[in-house]
């Protein structure tokens, strides 16, 4: 009888293991398969077409290059912003690294405290109806106030410098983390919590072994949204509160009608934001590896 049960179990597990190994091997083979050029082309086709159309409009004079510089002009200025080799960016030549480093520090400082506090508040609201009644109405009211409306108070409370910028960025990052964490806790199947209690789990084990893992997909969605908002708000924060960073560079270049520098700063923020998003995605995929085979990943 035991042998028969073992055979049945292995026969059931066999196809599942085979499917998992096949998926892993196919995922690993993508980098060496003939499909790699096709995949790279799919990633590149839209941005390349967009840049080509932009360049063509500038070349034929459809738009004035002083108003919307061509991609080649922006690339030349961007190179000088980074290296200081050509003086194409004039007074901004060679300043990119300092501005980028300042923005990165402010984004991650604000993102860090905003997300940490948001996840904590979301857990409190999600776990307790009492805390929901105490905290959630206030959070929902504050969530609808534009972050730019907090600028005067942040300057009054913190003065000019990094503190108001970090405060504004963290404030914007707080709300997506709080709302998504609350949703993640509340959407957990109640059967799982009942089963854990029946098996003798105490409150601590229930939190760390059932609720947090079950809520993690929604929590990471909130973290990803918070990172994007942090990069959006860095421009507002640096325009009004400090005299460094890519947001400050963008605004200062606008005042001197250097639209090529403005576009270079905009693209810098976009690319740095994309890299930050990829970091969050890598962390998410690592933490949610257990959930990968159970979710829809899109069709090729």
Cβ neighbours of 184 (radius 10 Å):
24
Give the residue ranges of DSSP H helices in 149-290.
Answer: 151-158, 162-186, 190-198, 203-206, 212-241, 246-255, 259-287
Counted domains in the chain: 2
Give residue 290's pLDDT band: very low, low, confident or very high (50, 70, 90). confident
Instruction: Quote the tokens at residue 220.
Output: 């990471």
Burial 138-169 (b: 16+ CB within 10 A, else e): ebeeeeeeebeebbeebbeebeeebbbbbbbb
188 vs 210: CA distance, rounded Å: 9
Q: Note whether 142 and 256 are same-domain residues.
A: yes
Identify the band that residue 298 occupies on the pLDDT scale cut at 50, 70 and 90: low
| Residue 298 counted as domain residue | no
Angle between helix 96-127 and 129-143 (nearest 10) = 140
How far is Cα 223 from Cα 235, in angstroms, rounded to an integer? 20
In this structure, the number of other CB atoms found within 10 A of the CB of residue 191 comes to 8
Residues 44 and 111 placed together within one structural domain of the fold:
no
Tell me what the pLDDT averaged over the chain comes to: 86
Do residues 277 and 246 share a domain? Answer: yes
Q: Among 44, 78, 94, identify where a domain stops.
A: 94
Residue 224 sits in a domain whose CATH number is 1.10.3720.10
Check whether residue 256 and residue 120 sit in a common domain: yes
The pLDDT assigned to 9 comes to 43
Residue 159 within any structural domain of the chain: yes
Name which of 106, 118, 158 is nearest 142 in CA terms: 118
**Which pLDDT does position 43 carry in this prediction?**
86
User: In sequence order, what are the residues at sequence separation of 6 or more whose Cβ sits closer than 8 angstroms to the Cβ of residue 300?
Assistant: none
Write the DSSP string, 136-183: HHHHHHHHTS-GGGGHHHHHHHH-SSHHHHHHHHHHHHHHHHHHHHHH
**Number of C-beta neighbours around residue 229 at 10 A:** 23
In this model, does residue 8 exceed pLDDT 70?
A: no
Same domain as 201, residue 181 = yes
Same domain, 84 and 161: no
Residue 25 domain flag: no
How confident is the model at residue 32, as a pLDDT? Answer: 52
Say if residue 117 is in the same domain as residue 241: yes
Same domain, 76 and 112: no
pLDDT tens for 116-144 read 999 999 999 999 999 999 999 999 999 99
Please indicate, yes or no, if residue 99 is contained in any of the structural domains.
yes
Q: Does residue 228 share a domain with residue 165?
A: yes
Residue range 66-105, pLDDT digits in tens: 888 999 999 999 999 999 999 999 999 999 999 999 999 9
Q: Is residue 296 part of a domain?
A: no
Q: What is the pLDDT of residues 236-268, one digit of tens each?
A: 899 887 889 999 999 999 999 999 999 999 999
Q: Which structure tokens are listed for 175? A: 């709300």
Residues 90 and 127 in one domain: no
7 falls within a domain:
no
Q: Which among 43, 74, 94 is the end of a domain?
A: 94
Which range of residues forms the domain containing residue 88? 34-94
Is the per-residue pLDDT at 202 higher than 90?
no
Verify that 151 and 134 share a domain, yes or no: yes
Q: Are residues 42 and 167 in the same domain?
A: no
How far apart (Å, rounded) are the C-alpha atoms in residues 225 and 231? 10
With respect to residue 142, please indicate whether it lies within any of the assigned structural domains: yes
Which one of 26, 60, 94 terminates a domain? 94
């Amino acid at each position: 009888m035991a042998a028969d049960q073992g055979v049945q179990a292995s026969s059931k597990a066999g196809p599942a293991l085979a499917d998992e190994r096949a998926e892993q091997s196919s995922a690993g083979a993508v980098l060496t398969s003939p499909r790699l050029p096709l995949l790279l082309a799919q990633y590149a086709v839209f941005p390349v077409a967009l840049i080509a159309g932009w360049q063509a409009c500038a070349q034929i004079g459809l738009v004035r290059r002083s108003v919307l510089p061509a991609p080649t002009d922006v690339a030349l200025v961007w190179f000088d912003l980074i290296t200081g080799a050509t003086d194409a960016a004039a007074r901004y030549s060679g300043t990119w690294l300092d501005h980028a480093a300042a923005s990165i520090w402010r984004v991650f400082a604000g993102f860090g405290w905003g997300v940490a506090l948001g996840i904590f508040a979301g857990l409190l609201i999600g776990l307790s109806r009492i805390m929901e009644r105490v905290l959630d109405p206030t959070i929902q009211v504050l969530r609808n106030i534009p972050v730019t409306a907090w600028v005067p108070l942040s300057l009054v409370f913190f003065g000019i410098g990094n503190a108001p910028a970090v405060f504004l960025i963290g404030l914007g990052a707080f709300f997506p983390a709080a709302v998504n964490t609350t949703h993640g806790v509340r959407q957990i199947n109640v059967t799982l919590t009942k089963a854990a209690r029946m098996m003798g789990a105490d409150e601590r084990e229930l939190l760390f072994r059932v609720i947090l893992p079950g809520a993690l997909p929604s929590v990471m969605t909130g973290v990803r949204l918070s990172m994007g908002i942090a990069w959006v708000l860095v421009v507002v924060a640096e325009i009004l509160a400090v005299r460094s960073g890519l947001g400050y560079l963008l605004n200062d270049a606008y005042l001197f009608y250097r639209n090529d520098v403005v576009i270079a700063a905009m693209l810098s923020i976009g690319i740095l934001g994309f890299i930050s998003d990829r970091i969050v995605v890598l962390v998410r995929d690592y933490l949610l590896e257990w959930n990968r085979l159970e979710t829809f990943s899109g069709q090729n």
